[in-house]
Structure 1
Amino acid sequence: MYVSLRRRAGAGIVLLALVSAVAGVPSAAGAAATDVRVDVDARAGLATVGDAALGVNHAVWDSQLGTPAVTDLLKDAGVQMVRYPGGSYADIYHWQTHTAPGGYVAPNTDFDTFMAGAQRTGAQPMIIANYGTGTAQEAADWVRYANVTKKYGARYWTIGNENYGNGHYGASWEADDHADKSPKEYAENVVAYATAMKAVDPTIKVGAVLTMPGNWPDGIVASGDSGTWNQEVLTRAGAAIDFVDVHWYPGGSTAAEGLGKTAQIQDAVYLLRRQIDQYAGAGASRIGISMTETNVDVGRNTQPGALFLADVYSGLLAQGVFTVQWWNVHNGPDKATTIAGQTDFNDFGLLSSGTCTADNSACEPPLNTPFAPYHALSLLGDFAHTGDQFVGTGSDNALVSAHAVRRADGDLAVLVINKDPDAAHTVSLNYHGFTPSAAVPVVETFTNGADGLTSGAAGTAGTQTLAPYSLALVTVHPSRTENAAPKAPGRLAATATDRTASISWAASGPGLKYEVYRQNGGVSELLGETTGTSLTVPNLVPGRRYTVNVLARDGAGRLSPASAPLTFTTGSPAASSCTVKFRDTNDWGNGYVGSIDITNNGPAAINGWTLTFTWPTGWQALSSGWNATWNQDGRTVRVTSDGGLTAGASTSVGFVGSYSGPNVLPESFTLNGTVCTTV
């Protein structure tokens, strides 16, 4: 039997006998036919888990902040970072007087109490400096008190909370005393804050607030601004910051819709990283990404919240976000509903506040009773250890998602999430670049309505059955340990054209062969092999995003871990018989007016033409178009005209597009079957 090494005070872990079923998982002898295929690819290396990965929020209005009961529960769950003084309160909170004019501050929630709780938890602090009603000097004095006077060694400091919610874009919930509420003003103050704070302690890391791509006000350019909030802040303050800070409340009118939003993570982080690289100037690659608030709209303290937490933390960490933080430790009930047979109080908290709804129609369980998302966080603590590398996974069923990490000892831990509230699913686990041992694996589960995790050995490395609305963490050992395997290659770089990419890397040692793989769901594609430290890959598709890894293999056939991933996008032909210019000319956050200019570069006239492009995601759509005939089939858009284009002539067409997630714009266009140059 397996016993978690972390103390589970109050977490309700149950140990099962070796022959017992776990959450409906049968023994190998009675295994059901599989109905879902999950691929786990150890060759597809993603991000490495850092030392602040699993985080939560604290608030000065929470009377339980820093108490032994709460700090021990957070420690048991493996929490590595705690944020203070709490969301929008940060922009009215003054640390020296421990006051928040216009808001409530509970007794015994001052900064020293918070730090004592963080230390007892074993977590790093993430501190929000007051931008809305504070000053750079106040923030610098806080750094001095924390790191010089008290020697807390607080590394991470964010300037403000959701400062784009100050009224500049219409909606106003964030305090902001500045006469100018533009991103330009915020950026200039970020520079002033960072300068003053780092003058006290140059070792700290300072973060600026951005908006998550696909979330309001992403894409919107307000009156008087030169660009979006993210563009303005990065352009003006990029050189002064060490990380950017975003929040993500993806919404959804049903639990199923909310759980489906995690499919947007990879594109959202890609766009955010691209914005940083494009606008933040030289050395932008040093800038990290923190996700300091996230939660769901439906099922906040029942199983949908738990499933979302496991999926979103894993998805963001795999894409290189260095910390993900749940909102909130305590929040309080709103209204009671029933979700999948369980009472949900619409409570953002991980732990019960022990209070009743406003109409006294329902009361929460006793104070600090863990809600379902707490147990999911606790399972994440067993899943994603500091130093583990996420690896690629894929599922053929949208209701079953999977994440996996490779540990330093060679083990693979696979987290499988069944988002189906009604049906169990028997999953076939297929491994690539990894051969599991025949031993019965350890399985740790959390099921709908359970008051804790269950753990034991069950199923096989290749087959597991998941109860409806459940989480399962399957830990498998390799068939053999490759103690002398080569090290992973490092420092990947790529130079891409429209059809080729030259990929290079740092050598892992002498006498090795290198294999270059393209990530492709849960089964990577081998692009080529070489004994050198570079490879030119032909036959790529113009305007396509590629993520690659390099692995080293020695003469004995031992394979290294995967390199860190490298993502690049192929361009368009340097010269073509046509040119396309695509622009987003007016964006309102979930739709935009697009403009396309088409030029005939050929020597002859074109009599009738069809322009074709493909939306990069499934949540983008054509609403209407003009100056041509527009239609959409699946994700493919065709723009057709009977008109002519003489040699050297141009024409313009326009459309209204809609999107319900990160708006990745198309980068490849064909005119009458010819790939155009994109400018």
Structure 2
Amino acid sequence: MFAGAGVTLVVLAGAALPGAAGAAAGAPAASAAVTLGATPLGADVAPWDSVFSNSATFARVSPLLKAAGISQLHYGGGVTADLYNWQTNTDIQGCAPNTAFAEFTAKCANTDGVDFGLFSQKARSLGAQSFVTVNYGSGTPALAANWVTESAKAGEAVTNWEIGNESYGCWEVNNWLADPPENYHGYVAGDSTTCPDVTQGNDAGMQTMATSYAANAKHFITAMRNVEPNVRIGVPWAFGNTVGGASVNDNTTWNDTLFSTDGPDINFVDAHWYPFGFGGATDPTGVKKPSDYTVIQSVKTIPSLYAQIQAELNTYAPGAQVIVGETGVSYLPTNVPCTPAGALFAAGDVLEWLAAGAQTVDWWPLDNADNTTDQCVNPEEAMFTSTGAPTSAYYGYLLASKLAQPGAQLSVLSTSSPDVLAFQSVLPGGKVAVALINSSTTSTRKVTFGSSLAGSLAVQNYGPAAGTTLGKITTGPTTTAAAVAGGITLPIESIVVLSERTLKPSTMTLTGSASVKAGTKVTLNGKLALNGVAAPAGVSVKVTRKVTSGKGTSATLTAKTVSGGGFSVTDLPPATGSYAYQASYLSNSYLPASASYAVKITAAKPSLKLKLSATSVKPGQKITVTATLGAPHVNKTLVIYAQPKGGAKRVIKRATVNAKGQISVIYPVKANTTFTLVFGGDTWYTSGTLTAAVKA
């Protein structure tokens, strides 16, 4: 039995664990693992949050949040973020459209229950870092900068700052639209029918909104970094209309415009993922809603969505991180968070995003005042009721926290059933944990899966239970990795977490040249030891190349050890700049090992030749001028200039070199003439010039 503040978790029938058996033939292997950051799990707290504003309720919730590993709290409150003044602790949600910034002290302004000081106090008591969305829609750069200054006070530190909430959407107040560069005076704050996306159409309207935000966000960034140069700043990512909630039709225009303008200045993007709008299968009463099974299965779309974000960042903001600042079942007119489906969705949601590469996943919200007692009976999207009773979403996070721990190596596992989601985590201490989620609401599922589990395993089960709509967590009888390898039967609509012992240690080293001329291959040499002994020949090592500065690209390479545990890899970076190479090893029997090495690719001087067929001629005689470019170049264009004595310098030949790397031109010499060869440079080589002269 597990007991927490206000919650009792009792025994229910758990997973049917088979007897000992050999490893299943052809069991699928794990995907590449992702190392989790310091704050994988988070939650959203609004200024109007009743859990944080009530000391007794917070005392009830605090141990539950700690147990679930909540390490980041996102302060802003959705649309309230663009209506909120942190200095007065008021929002203008109830004020008339086009309410001026000065009216945060007007009678129409609402005083909120959780000011920044109280929020910071509660976050510190939980050991969580703060993520704050500043007021872009009705605020100013100065207000944001003052907030950054305030956060320097003891106990009020903020790790991440975002400029505006979902500023791509017409549901957000955006008073900057009426200012340069757009001067879109047809917009009335708070009136979505006047939004450019509506009045101008999707493409033109989104271009108006994106151009305005990209330009004005720079003013916020400048003001905030003027008071704290190292402040971490992010901006909103927009999903397309294949995502149900908080999405827009022309998200590509928003993302391309924003990141091509502000990409170099940001540290992260904030993606809000709600997989459903008001749509889906229609029930007999006419209310549109997806089935519980569809809700849980929707998390399978996350890897492709993350790939879209990462591709954009690779182009415009290499090194920027992805934070899922809001996610959940908002927009669903159902009681999913009050049923086991809510826990299954929440666990699958957070684990899929983290396994894809997200830094933190924040559940929206902590409390939404939908249920004002301990009973979760009304359609709900929050993690807790207003009295501090957990909903099923909390249980999903609690179970996910068994895998989603700082520094863990998290991966997605393949299984023999499409209804079962599976994840593996190699924890920092070496223990392995696996979560299996059966999304079927009608049938048990017996599945096989490949994993690194070994030895004796602890078992936790979650699923429907008598006496509660939320479902319950139980501790099941222990089993072994050998038994599980033969397959495991999962109860209907359930989560099963298997946890095991510490793996044997492994170590790795990586060396190479710290600086290499462009166009020259980088050679890295490493050694892998397993449990203190050199690895045998043939062990696979993954080597990734990441850009730390410059315009290069990332890449993944592979190597195999030779006798003695050594391995080597060669690479040709595509451009000058700084790169970080990381070699990593992952197996079923040993702790992950990794080693990093930094390499700087410096521009090389081009090899240029300028040859004249004669250096002394009679006036009017023609000569041949031949220019040669050495090693292969990205830029193959050469320019030849001629400047007669007393005359102007002009281009006599501009062309792409031939297969021999040459261009040539015949030139009539009328006076002493100086010829100049110019190469403009490229991603590998610096620019260069060369001169030659002829007398006449």
Q: Which residue of 1 aligns with 2:498?
A: 474
In structure 2, do the counterparts of structure 1 residues 117 and 125 end up closer, same or farther at CA, with 3 Å as the change threshold?
same
CA distance in 2, matches of 1:219, 1:504: 46
Indicate the SS of the match to 1:266: helix
Give the C-alpha shift of residue 150 in structure 1.
4.0
In structure 2, do the counterparts of structure 1 residues 322 and 122 end up closer, same or farther at CA, with 3 Å as the change threshold?
same
Corresponding letter in the other structure for 2:355? A
Q: Which residue of 2 aligns with 1:409?
A: 429
Q: Which residue of 1 aligns with 2:420?
A: 400
Q: How does 1:147-296 map to 2 (within 5 A)?
A: 147=152, 149-150=153-154, 152-166=156-170, 172-179=171-178, 180=182, 182-212=209-239, 214-215=242-243, 221=250, 228-251=253-276, 252=280, 253-278=290-315, 280=316, 284-296=317-329
Indicate the SS of the match to 1:459: strand
In structure 2, do the counterparts of structure 1 residues 347 and 229 end up closer, same or farther at CA, with 3 Å as the change threshold?
same
Indicate the SS of the match to 1:228: helix
Indicate the SS of the match to 1:114: helix
Matching residue within 508, 511, 515 for 1:487: 508
Give the C-alpha shift of residue 301 in structure 1.
3.0
* TM-score (normalizing by structure 1): 0.64
Give the C-alpha shift of residue 243 in structure 1.
0.4
Q: Tell me if structure 2 keeps the 8 A contact 1:28–1:460.
A: no
Q: Tell me if structure 1 keeps the 8 A contact 2:410–2:426.
A: yes
Superimposed CA distance per residue, residues 525-557 of structure 1 (whole angstroms, 9 cap, x where no aligned partner)? 998666442279xxxxxxxxxxx9965599xx9
Q: Which residue of 1 aligns with 2:526?
A: 507
In structure 2, do the counterparts of structure 1 residues 287 and 369 end up closer, same or farther at CA, with 3 Å as the change threshold?
same
Percent of counterpart pairs with the same letter?
Answer: 26
Indicate the SS of the match to 2:435: strand
CA distance in 2, matches of 1:352, 1:435: 37
Indicate the SS of the match to 1:65: helix
Matching residue within 81, 97, 100 for 2:91: 100
CA distance in 1, matches of 2:13, 2:511: 41
CA distance in 2, matches of 1:164, 1:553: 40
Q: Which residue of 1 aligns with 2:8?
A: 12
CA distance in 2, matches of 1:99, 1:286: 36
Q: Which residue of 1 aligns with 2:438?
A: 418
CA distance in 2, matches of 1:38, 1:106: 58
Corresponding letter in the other structure for 2:92? P
Q: Tell me if structure 2 keeps the 8 A contact 1:38–1:427.
A: no
CA distance in 1, matches of 2:594, 2:419: 30
Matching residue within 140, 145, 155 for 1:140: 145
CA distance in 2, matches of 1:258, 1:445: 20
Q: How does 1:513-528 map to 2 (within 5 A)?
A: 515-516=540-541
Q: Which residue of 1 aligns with 2:48?
A: 61
In structure 2, do the counterparts of structure 1 residues 535 and 427 end up closer, same or farther at CA, with 3 Å as the change threshold?
farther
Indicate the SS of the match to 1:311: helix
Give the C-alpha shift of residue 203 in structure 1.
2.9
Q: How does 1:634-653 map to 2 (within 5 A)?
A: none
Q: Which residue of 2 aligns with 1:25?
A: 15
Q: Tell me if structure 2 keeps the 8 A contact 1:37–1:429.
A: no
Corresponding letter in the other structure for 2:526? A
CA distance in 2, matches of 1:473, 1:109: 36
Corresponding letter in the other structure for 2:163? I
- Structure 2, unaligned runs of 5 or more: 95-108, 183-207, 281-289, 513-520, 545-556, 572-580, 597-696
Q: Tell me if structure 2 keeps the 8 A contact 1:288–1:322.
A: yes
Q: Tell me if structure 1 keeps the 8 A contact 2:524–2:570.
A: no
Q: Which residue of 2 aligns with 1:384?
A: 404
Residues 1:561 and 2:592 aligned together: yes
Give the C-alpha shift of residue 516 in structure 1.
4.6
Q: Tell me if structure 1 keeps the 8 A contact 2:29–2:450.
A: yes
Q: Which residue of 1 aligns with 2:133?
A: 128
Of structures 1 and 2, the one with the larger relative CO (CA 8 A, separation 6+) is: 1
In structure 2, do the counterparts of structure 1 residues 194 and 526 end up closer, same or farther at CA, with 3 Å as the change threshold?
closer
Indicate the SS of the match to 1:82: strand
Give the C-alpha shift of residue 315 in structure 1.
0.7
Superimposed CA distance per residue, residues 232-271 of structure 1 (whole angstroms, 9 cap, x where no aligned partner)? 1100001111101110111152222222221111111111
CA distance in 2, matches of 1:12, 1:34: 37
CA distance in 1, matches of 2:428, 2:525: 21
In structure 2, do the counterparts of structure 1 residues 27 and 291 end up closer, same or farther at CA, with 3 Å as the change threshold?
closer
Corresponding letter in the other structure for 2:243? N
Corresponding letter in the other structure for 1:10? G
Give the C-alpha shift of residue 27 in structure 1.
5.4
Superimposed CA distance per residue, residues 115-165 of structure 1 (whole angstroms, 9 cap, x where no aligned partner)? 111112221111010000001110000010111x34522111000001011
Corresponding letter in the other structure for 2:492? P
Q: How does 1:42-57 map to 2 (within 5 A)?
A: 44-57=31-44
Count of residue correspondences: 486
In structure 2, do the counterparts of structure 1 residues 428 and 406 end up closer, same or farther at CA, with 3 Å as the change threshold?
same
Superimposed CA distance per residue, residues 66-88 of structure 1 (whole angstroms, 9 cap, x where no aligned partner)? 53233333223221111112111
In structure 2, do the counterparts of structure 1 residues 235 and 30 end up closer, same or farther at CA, with 3 Å as the change threshold?
closer
CA distance in 1, matches of 2:140, 2:594: 43
Corresponding letter in the other structure for 1:76? A
Give the C-alpha shift of residue 196 in structure 1.
1.2
CA distance in 1, matches of 2:508, 2:151: 40
Matching residue within 440, 447, 450 for 2:463: 447
Indicate the SS of the match to 1:300: helix
Q: Tell me if structure 2 keeps the 8 A contact 1:489–1:551.
A: no
Q: Which residue of 2 aligns with 1:345?
A: 378
CA distance in 2, matches of 1:475, 1:532: 32
Q: Tell me if structure 2 keeps the 8 A contact 1:488–1:561.
A: no
In structure 2, do the counterparts of structure 1 residues 83 and 553 end up closer, same or farther at CA, with 3 Å as the change threshold?
closer
- Structure 1, unaligned runs of 5 or more: 17-21, 167-171, 336-341, 354-366, 492-501, 520-524, 537-547, 566-679
Q: Which residue of 1 aligns with 2:351?
A: 314
Q: Tell me if structure 2 keeps the 8 A contact 1:518–1:549.
A: yes
Superimposed CA distance per residue, residues 7-59 of structure 1 (whole angstroms, 9 cap, x where no aligned partner)? 83234245x7xxxxx7333455499x999997453xx4322121221011111
Indicate the SS of the match to 1:370: coil
CA distance in 1, matches of 2:540, 2:24: 33
Give the C-alpha shift of residue 221 in structure 1.
4.9
Q: Cα RMSD (Å) of the superposition? A: 3.9
CA distance in 2, matches of 1:23, 1:564: 44
Q: Which residue of 1 aligns with 2:450?
A: 430
Q: Tell me if structure 2 keeps the 8 A contact 1:516–1:527.
A: yes
* TM-score (normalizing by structure 2): 0.62
CA distance in 2, matches of 1:99, 1:117: 19
